[in-house]
Structure 1
Amino acid sequence: MLLSRKLPGRLAGLPSGRRAKWAVLLLWVAIVAVAVPFAGKLSDAVQSKSAAELPRGAQSTRVEELAPRFAGGELAPGLLVYARDGGVTAADRAKARADAGALAPLAAGRVEPPAASRDGEALLLTVPLADDDDLADRAKTVRDRAERGAPPGLRIMLTGPAGNALDMGDAFGKVDGALLAATAVLVMLVLLMTYRSPLLWLLPLLNAAISLQVTSAVVYLLAEHAGLYVADGMSAILNALVFGVTTDYALLLLARYREELRAHEDRHAAMRAALRRAAAPIVASAATVSVGLLCLLAADMGFNYALGPIGAIGVLCGLLVVMSLLPATLVVFGRWVFWPRIPRFGDAPPARTGLWERVGRLVAPRPRLVWIGCLAVLAALSAGVLGISTGLDRDHTLTTTPSSSLGRHLMAEHFPGGQDRPLTVVADAAAAPAAGPAVARVPGVARVGRPAPSTDGRLARIDVVLDDAPDSPAAWRTVRDMRAALAGPAPSAVVGAGAASELDLADAQAHDRRAVIPLVLGVVLVILMVLLRALVAPLLVMATVIVSYFAALGGSWLLFRYALDLPALDTQVALMGFLFMVALGVDYNLFLVSRVREEVGRGPAGPAGHRAGVLRGLAVTGGVISSAGLVLASTFGVLGLMPVTMMVQIGLLVAIGVLLDTFLVRSVMVPALALDAGRGFWWPGRLARAVPAEAPPVPQKV
């Protein structure tokens, strides 16, 4: 027990020690020197292969896994549509045949002659391409070759899986650097407004940048040597998360260090005290966010499953930097780093006339009326949830209309709706003769191809074209009917690709919401109970965060639907928004309530001591938590600049939720609930009973 009590003090002494601080700085210089080269390679580890995205255990995933056993391996067809109103000409047909010959060396399989539409106004050239990390580059070559030398009046568009990969690659490739720069600028502006110091704002920003470099290096090494999946777009979420949490933790430590500098003449002693007192909420926050993210390991979706450990790595790297590098840097620089508002030893705490002191005075007389009013506002916003539609179609995957969507519409005018992404049926070779006719009898099937044997002869693959577009409910019904029809004559058959993949993705997202959301709630509640040593306070805090989430979801849906003209939420948004809002939203309540608990423990016993502790906790944490909320909202809000609709929706949802939580829930509703509940807020802990006050800290000479 003695060792456990001394351990936090010893750890706090490392970055704040007179000689140890230099060792910590040198260690971080070495870490950064090693990390930067690896961090720069993270983009090379991004995988665009569809198999990694698909749900674990789904039929569509099994089809992708079996693809290498067939000639040509894993393919992503590029579909070139040649169309002319009034009918294609001989020159048009010659152009398509010439492209087929020119593109044959680039293809991963045989390039069949162009197929004509029934109306005679279009040709379709299928170029099978290898589905690997270079798919987007090959697709661009295909598109450029087809557009070169086209007869006047002939429309040529690239669509299909290869066209989609090209559009997504263009979308992500153009924004990563700009997003990081925009994030840094926004964080810098918030920090300048917070500190009004020409130097101090640099330290949280520098720590966030170092955290991101270390995180990127660790993720790259795990991707290269441990098979960690890194998807397109994951780096954007990682940037927002790491910048946000690292800056938040830095702001909290800086605020506590400033307080301790007034109580300690020696800055090393002040930092030791600041680390001891700030460690509990900061470590608990990091535990809440990282463990919440690790709950994604229960997910079926490949993107969700991989984001869990990657996000947790980012949070833990941010924690490590803030609890070691930042304290050492601050102690080396000395008090003058706070110039022009330098905290001096023996200075009285700032007068309680700030914004949050005034908010507390307004809340205190009628706390029940206040929290009921806040609840009414949140409930009104939550009503927007009732009109939500989920599941974006391919036309709205990007915020602009991608060329592959234009090509798909052009093809749909002349060919069956499912032509751009056919289904694939894989069955045992012996069952293939029965599988084909069974599939052909299913309503909604436009065409069934001939069985193609695997290289070992044990399997057969059948391509199936549907009447309807792959992202339509009608196509999903056809897939379910096909799977049911195959259960008898070909029980080993699996149906994947096209509409089957879309259906399995939607089912997996529904599973992930059912599995992950209760798990996150349980984990976060347990962490709050351990930190606050109470039951009522954690339950009330969790209730406010959940209500805040639904309010943000309803409000953001109104924005998406009526301001941005988006017809639905992406299936990822509800889960990602919940995860980030609950894990990150609890942070600010945790910072507030843990400080309130500390202040209540110092005050006199009885209702007056509890009331004073709540108001004092709000007054001393209000400014730093508001700044942290602005930083986090800014980092996620930057995702709204991306051309990818899913990222826009996640970014704006989390930004709106964080602002609601920061300026309404945490600053008004939670203090009102704590005041209304009285000491019962801490039940069944020690503070729920009348207890002697702890002695407040006094200035010390060291």
Structure 2
Amino acid sequence: MGTAGGDTGTKAAGWARFVVRRAAWVLLVWLAFTAVVNVAVPQLEEVAGRDSSPMVPGDAPSMVAVKAMDEAFGNGGSESFVVVAMERSSGLTRADRLFAESLVDDLGALEDDVVFVQDIRQPGLRKALTSADGQARYVLVGITGATGAPSSLRQVSAVRDVVRDRAPDGLVVEVTGPTATVVDLTVETEESVLRITIVTIGLIGLILLVIYRALAVPVIVLGVVGLGLAAGRAVVAWCGMEDFFAVSTFSGSFLTAVILGAGTDYAVFLVARYHEQRRLGVDPVRAAGIAASRVGGVIAGSAVTVVLATLCMVFADLGFFNTTGPAIAVSIAVNLVLSLTLTPALLALAGRRGWAEPRESRAGEVWQRVADLVAVHPVRMLAASAVPLTLLAALFPLLDLSYDIRDPLPEEAESNRGFALLARHFPVNEVLPDYVLVQADHDLRNTRDLALIERAAAAVEQHEGVALVRTVTRPTGEPITQASVAYQSGEVGDRLGDAKARVAEGAGGARQLADGATRLDDGASQLAEGAGQAVTGADRIATGAAALATRDLHDGDQVEVAVEGLALVHEALSRKSLTCGLDPACR
């Protein structure tokens, strides 16, 4: 139990006395401040929606790859994409085709939000984006907001509005994809936080009513918490609007949860110390001042610790942390000031009218016994308190961690409905694959690099959980038949077989060539023989001519010699030509 009186000489005590003496003015100032900032400053969600800070830092490997892919294969302006999936179980109609083609212009008109739309009017592309059963089709839409960025919420919503307004009757249309999933998760979180906040406030009020058995205490505590939440959100929104730090859609959700807990604790500490002073017979106004001066240091220490810890999150690279930490720090600081001023003021106002008086309770005796037991047997109590903590920690190995952001969403979420639609008609992960970007300082379209890419694809395919791998060498997920080793071996075998057949066909020609060579040799021999005879005849003619010239021979002998020489020449030339023996056709 405490003693009556307080620290009257400290600055904290002087500030506390001022607050409780001007209690009405303090209440009016906080009401006015909260009203003004909430009217003058847009709501936190609106300010967050203007921000385009990504949740994942731009230098993360995945974001670097996405940027490089967009520059190489896209238009260089999209930060993320969504998928417009459509289905008609009876088969897509001409009206459905016209609707899909109209999206190119209709969504393209959203110049501030949409960067590109796949031109499904091209026959080849339309065929690739249509399921084999002809019942479903999808279109990729690039948007300027990064996945998880607040601006992506507005952009996905705009795409969904256009699609819903123009869809033909009977055609099921869903906007899905990774970005749409994060948007649905954010919206679901905000709706859940609203429900949780209402339930939490109700439970806090019920617990306070049961413990203090006075309606004024729950009203004071919840009033301080509610006013602190409104003021804190407005100040955070102003800081985000003035670019002191970035805020995201998650900032408001976590800020609300922290303020509900911290604001309640601060108020309960003050109420407990106020009741302690009232039980000692201190008048209400002075009791409220003493409570604020004595417990204010404890509350301030607790709040400053939280402020500094959450401010350190500003140095984090992940957008989820660097947008949430500063927002929580600022809201805690606002609630610290509000709790140390407004709560004592309200206790003073209520105490003057007897509305916040403590009730008789045996709970104090119970807690006194517990305190005495802890003081007498500290080691035993420490061991006893560690038992439930150990039992809870033992359950940690049973925790099943999941990195699938679709798991927390209900099945009726639009993005999940879209994924289910695509799964019914297209291969696994048709629009949600993992990409591996391969870059080089030269053209990869050569046999060596394509073979390396195929080897890499085959290696990745062996990993557990990998269902399908698509590359330039396997565009459909299956290796190109013509590029397989078995196919190439068969091609080599077939060509060797053809060569063998051609060699066999050429054997007859080789024999003819050998025969021709033999005949060529015979003709050459005959040519040599004929040439010899011609030479002999020429010699005789020359001899005869010489004899005629010298007149040593008689006329008859001269004629005989000449005739014999001419006969030899005639015989040598009787085969048409001297070279005829070389040509088998002359024979």
Give the TM bin, normalised by the shorter chain: 0.5 to 0.7
Aligned-residue offset at 1:147: 4.2
* 2:138 aligned residue: 124
Equivalences for residues 22-33 of structure 1 within 5 A: 22-33=24-35
Contact 2:270 2:292 in 1 (8 A): yes
Read off the aligned partner of 2:159 and give its amino acid letter. A
Amino acid at match of 1:58: A
Distance 2:138 2:362 in 1: 76
Contact 1:81 1:125 in 2 (8 A): yes
Q: 2: distance between equivalents of 1:180 and 1:378?
A: 27
SS in 1 for 2:416: helix
TM-aligned CA deviation for residue 177 of structure 1 = 4.6
Q: Contact conserved, 1:112 with 1:126, CA < 8 A, in 2?
A: no
> Could you say which residue in structure 2 is the equivalent of 1:112?
119
| Cα separation, partners in 2 of 1:394 and 1:22, compared to 1, 3 Å | closer
**Cα distance in 1 between the residues matched to 2:41 and 2:307:** 21
Q: Shift of residue 223 of structure 1?
A: 1.0
Task: Give yes or no for the alignment of 1:309 onto 2:326.
Answer: yes
* Structure 2 residue 387 is the aligned partner of structure 1 residue 376: yes
What are the equivalent positions in structure 2 for 1:119-518 lying under 5 Å apart? 119-121=132-134, 122-131=136-145, 132-133=151-152, 134-145=154-165, 147-150=167-170, 156-161=173-178, 163-164=180-181, 167-168=184-185, 170-172=187-189, 174-175=191-192, 177-226=194-243, 228-263=245-280, 265-338=282-355, 341=358, 354-360=365-371, 367-412=378-423, 414-415=425-426, 417-421=428-432, 431=441, 433=443, 441=453, 474=466
1:512-538, Cα deviation, whole Å (9 max, x unpaired)? xxxxxxxxxxxxxxxxxxxxxxxxxxx
Question: Is the Cα–Cα contact under 8 Å of residues 335 and 342 in structure 1 kept in the other structure?
Answer: no
Looking at structure 2, the residues matched to 182 and 25 of structure 1 have their Cα atoms a distance apart, in angstroms, of 27
Please say if 1:54 is aligned against 2:74: no
Match of 2:38 in 1: 36
1:160 to partner: Cα distance: 1.6
TM-score with structure 2 setting the length: 0.63
- Determine the structure 2 residue equivalent to 1:646: none
CA contact (8 A) 2:44 2:234 kept: yes
Identical-pair percentage: 24
Separation in 2 of the partners of 1:359 and 1:176? 36
In the alignment, is the contact (CA less than 8 A) between 1:48 and 1:232 conserved in 2?
A: no
Distance change (3 Å), C-alpha of 1:56 and 1:294:
farther
Quote how far apart the aligned CAs of 1:298 are.
4.0
Q: Could you say if the C-alpha distance between residues 13 and 53 of structure 1 is closer, same or farther in structure 2, counting changes exceeding 3 Å?
A: same
Whether the aligned pair in 2 keeps the contact of 1:136 and 1:169 (CA below 8 Å) is: no
Counterpart residue type for residue 33 of structure 2? I
| Matched position secondary structure for 2:137 | strand
Distance 2:300 2:213 in 1: 28
- The SS at the match of 1:389 is coil
Alignment CA distance shift 1:414-1:74 (3 Å): same
Assess, with a 3 A threshold, how the Cα gap between structure 1 residues 427 and 265 changes in structure 2: closer, same or farther: same
Greater C-alpha radius of gyration: 2
8 Å contact kept, 2:44–2:233: yes
Task: Classify 1:158/1:195 alpha carbon distance in 2 versus 1 (closer, same or farther; 3 Å).
Answer: same
Provide Cα deviations, 1:337-390, integer angstroms capped at 9, x if missing partner: 4456479xxxxxx77863323444666775544432332332122111122232
Q: For 1:434 and 1:5, how far apart are their aligned partners in 2? A: 81
Aligned to 2:545: none
- CA-CA distance at 1:149 after TM superposition: 2.5
1:497-526 alpha-carbon deviations (Å, 9 max, x no partner) = xxxxxxxxxxxxxxxxxxxxxxxxxxxxxx
Aligned residues: CA RMSD: 4.3
| 8 Å Cα contact 1:199/1:337 also seen in 2 | no
Amino acid corresponding to residue 395 of structure 2 in structure 1: G
Query: Relative to structure 1, is the Cα distance of residues 225 and 253 closer, same or farther in structure 2, using a 3 angstrom cutoff?
Result: same
Note the residue ranges of structure 2 that are not aligned, 5 or more in a row.
1-7, 121-125, 146-150, 472-587
Deviations 1:284-340 (A, max 9, x none): 211222222223234321111221111111211111111111112222333434456
Residue 440 of structure 1 and its aligned partner are, at CA, apart by 8.7
SS in 2 for 1:404: helix
For these two proteins, the number of residue pairs brought into alignment is: 443
Residue 432 of structure 1: CA displacement? 7.9
Q: Is the 8 A contact 2:130 2:137 kept in 1?
A: yes
Greater Cα offset, 435-444 or 29-38: 435-444
CA 1:162–1:445: 2 relative to 1, 3 Å: farther
Shift of 1:277: 1.6
Separation in 2 of the partners of 1:369 and 1:478? Answer: 63
Return closer, same or farther for 1:14/1:440 CA change in 2, 3 Å cut-off.
farther
Could you tell me whether the CA contact under 8 Å between 1:81 and 1:158 is conserved in 2?
yes
Amino acid at match of 1:289: V
- Contact 1:78 1:126 survives alignment (8 Å): yes
SS at match of 1:395: coil
Give TM-score scaled by structure 1 length. 0.54
The residue identity in structure 2 corresponding to 1:251 is V
Deviation sequence 1:7-54 (CA, Å, 0-9, x none): 3333333313x3x44553443243223222146521201248775211
- Evaluate the alpha carbon distance shift between residue 384 and residue 352 of structure 1 in structure 2; reply closer, same or farther with a 3 A threshold: closer
SS of residue paired to 1:226: coil
- The alpha-carbon distance between structure 1 residues 86 and 431, as it changes in their structure 2 partners (threshold 3 A), is farther
- Counterpart Cα distance in 2 of 1:156 and 1:44: 28
AA aligned to 2:57 is: P
Provide closer, same or farther for how the CA distance between residues 309 and 477 of structure 1 changes in structure 2, counting only shifts above 3 A: farther
Name the amino acid aligned to 1:215.
G
State the Cα deviation string for residues 153-196 of structure 1 (Å, max 9, x = none).
xx544322453255346425645554443333222222212221
2:78 to 67, 74, 78: 74
Instruction: Quote the residue 1:644 is aligned against.
Output: none
Report the Cα distance in structure 2 between the residues aligned to 1:186 and 1:439, rounded to whole angstroms.
65
Instruction: Report if the CA contact (8 A) 1:417-1:468 is conserved.
Output: no
- Letter in structure 1 aligned against 2:385: C
Distance 2:462 2:200 in 1: 42
Once the 2 structures are TM-superposed, how far is the Cα of residue 216 of structure 1 from its aligned partner? 0.9
Structure 1 alignment gaps of length 5 or more: 344-349, 447-465, 480-702
Structure 1 Cα separation of the partners of residues 56 and 469 of structure 2: 19
SS of the equivalent of 1:80 reads strand
